[in-house]
Amino acid sequence: MRTQFIGAIGQNLTMTDPSAPGPWWRDAVIYEIYVRSFADGDGDGLGDLAGIRSRLPALADLGVDAVWLTPFYPSPQADGGYDVADYCDVDPRFGTLDDLDDLVATAHDLGLRVLIDIVPNHTSVEHEWFRAAVAGPGAPERDRYLFRPGRGPEGDEPPNDWRSVFGGPAWTRITEADGSPGPWYLHLFDGSQPDLDWTRDEVREAFDEVLRFWLDRGVDGFRIDVAHGLAKDPAMPDIGGRFARGGVAAEGHPHWDRDEVHDIYRRWRRVIDAYAGDRVFVAEAYLGGAHRLARYLRPDELHTAFNFDLLLAPWDADAFRGAIDDSIEHLAAVGATPTWVLSNHDMVRHLTRYSGGEVGRRRARAAALLLLALPGAAYLYQGEELGLPEVTDLPDAARQDPTFHRTKGREPGRDGCRVPIPWEGDEPSYGFGPTAASWLPQPADWAGLGRREQAEDPTSMLSLYREALRLRRPLPGPDEFAWIDAPSGVLAFGRGDGFSCVVNMGDDPVAWSPPAATPTIALSSAPVDPQGALPAATAVWFES
């Protein structure tokens, strides 16, 4: 056992004037609803808007401030709806525009805001623009995408060496209507997701209208899909060995995080600023550090962006502390608020990343208290409040993620975090819908993880989240944060004078004493004895 003690308050990392009242999103907790897997109203095994609406009271009860809905637009569903065929409608599988309006109204009645997903980097091949683009070489719609001639004497090699994020080349060749081989189109994701050419005015204007369409319907903001991918180097140079493969950007990259994207977000900011009610953008941007993220958050650009550094960090105190410091310091420079996240529909669930089983569960409980004590906004991914693990044993035949298919099964893909969630453990499909149908098979041992079962158990993950969200409310503004000296492997920080959070991220108990200014335990992720050692993988909230 180590014998250091938690001591004096460290340097205060004040970000902006702490007395200034901020808009709601500066310290909100926003709950990601993966629409296909949250609640199925009609029993076909696929989640839908009516199902979501019927279950919103459970989220109000949990205590979140807002929901983010993943795409519900008409779509062939080649990438779970991130392949949009019509940006201004609802896919009949999920409902109708009226259902969406009803959902927004119900959410607002319950005090919940609603963010929706906008997917500007690419459309579906089923979008009317792309259908027109492939109908003939002279179609003006072809210019809205990134068509290029192939290389080699026959043009039968891709125009460059760019790779799809989902595996394989980022180019697909079309066949013209007369049967002759045509040019290639760029798709940074699946072949069914052709990238748009954002240098084109008609693309920019169309998306202004999409934003207005939804803002007029009362949505409170947008999560911007692949926000760092919209601009491409017009020379389209080979990447060669210059950059690591994968989704994280690096400076000077020909298609990630290029300077030109910022013009687009300045334009979008002007659109959203015309609306009352603190509407908000949150960018999905996997970048090489918070200094790059801060550029998206300059005062005339986006309001917030996910900080994925915590999500990408291993369960390690130094890694977490580095990610937290980096984010707070760089975002402070532009007056932006941090936005933390541990899991989403693209990543292995954090309980499993943190070793799974009882160890993972214990760490996930501690991580929840850490996440919800940090300054700024927090995003929860549906099911983390139930302690759901990643489902790692889905049969190949059930897998739907294009990553699995494009890598010929080498990468399992993201289905394991998208399994429909349990509500009532003793119902068919665990209450996901009124029938036993579920678009991905649910594990046989999830009955005890049902929301209803957990609501009745004060020691459950759900009870921990609910209590943390309740206690979080009166926390001081996002600007008040200060590290407290702590032993190696322990993170400790204060939020104003009356609250502190201490997390032992190590595998051994640590001798300790509560921070002097906040001696009273308000909540802990595991039982703690104030006179004894702080157990391994345990977080404690203190108040004065």
Residue from 233, 232, 252 nearest 242 by CA = 252
Q: Nearest CA to 487 among 463, 506, 464?
A: 506
Instruction: Output the smallest distance, CB 404 to ligand GLC, in A.
Output: 12
The count of chain residues that interact with ligand GLC, using the rule CB under 6 A, is 9
What is the maximal distance between C-alpha atoms in the chain? 81
Shortest Å distance, C-beta 332 to ligand GLC: 27
Site string for ligand GLC, 269-298 (x = CB under 6 A): ---------------x--------------
Q: Report how far apart, in Å, the C-alpha atoms of 425 and of each of 139, 282, 328 are.
A: 54, 34, 41
| Shortest separation between residue 39's beta carbon and ligand GLC, angstroms | 20
Q: Strands 482-484, 499-504: parallel, antiparallel or unpaired by DSSP? A: unpaired
Contact status: 79 vs ligand GLC (CB under 6 A): yes
Closest by CA to 315, choosing from 355, 368, 373, is: 355
257 contacts ligand GLC (rule: CB under 6 A): no
Residue 225, both tokens: 């899909």
Asked if residue 381 binds ligand GLC (CB under 6 A), the reply is no
Q: At closest approach, how far in Å is the CB of 157 from ligand GLC?
A: 25
Catalytic residue among 40, 220, 284, 415: 284
The arrangement of strands across the sheet holding 9-12 comes to 9-12, 482-484, 490-494, 499-504, 538-543, 520-524
User: For residue 90, which amino acid is it?
Assistant: V
By beta-carbon proximity to ligand GLC, the closer residue of 119 and 371 is 119
Please select the residue that binds ligand GLC; options are 49, 133, 226, 264, rule is CB under 6 A. 226
| Among positions 91, 346, 385, 390, the unique one binding ligand GLC when judged by CB under 6 A | 346
Q: Say whether 197 is catalytic.
A: no
Using CB under 6 A as the binding rule, whether residue 364 contacts ligand GLC is answered as no
Is 202 labeled as catalytic in the residue annotation? Answer: no
Can you tell me which of 195, 197, 220, 225 binds ligand GLC, judged by CB under 6 A?
A: 225
Minimum separation from the CB atom of position 220 to ligand GLC (A):
19
**131-169 as b/e: b if 16+ CB within 10 A:** eebbeeeeeebbebbbbeebeeeebeebbbebebbbbbb
Our finding on whether 82 is near ligand GLC (CB under 6 A) is: yes
Query: Alpha-carbon dihedral of residues 290, 292, 293, 298, nearest 10 degrees?
Result: 120
Verify binding: residue 415, ligand GLC, rule CB under 6 A: no
CB of 406 to ligand GLC, least distance (A): 12
Give, as ranges, the residues between 103 and 132 that touch ligand GLC (CB under 6 A).
Answer: 119
d(CA 512, CA 534): 6
- Among residues 48, 225, 385, 479, the one annotated as catalytic is 225
Contact positions with ligand GLC (CB under 6 A) in 177-216: 189
Cβ-closest position to ligand GLC:
82
- Kind plus residue range of the DSSP H or E element containing 66: strand 66-69
Structure tokens at 449: 């993880």
Residues near ligand GLC (CB under 6 A) are 79, 82, 119, 189, 225-226, 284, 345-346
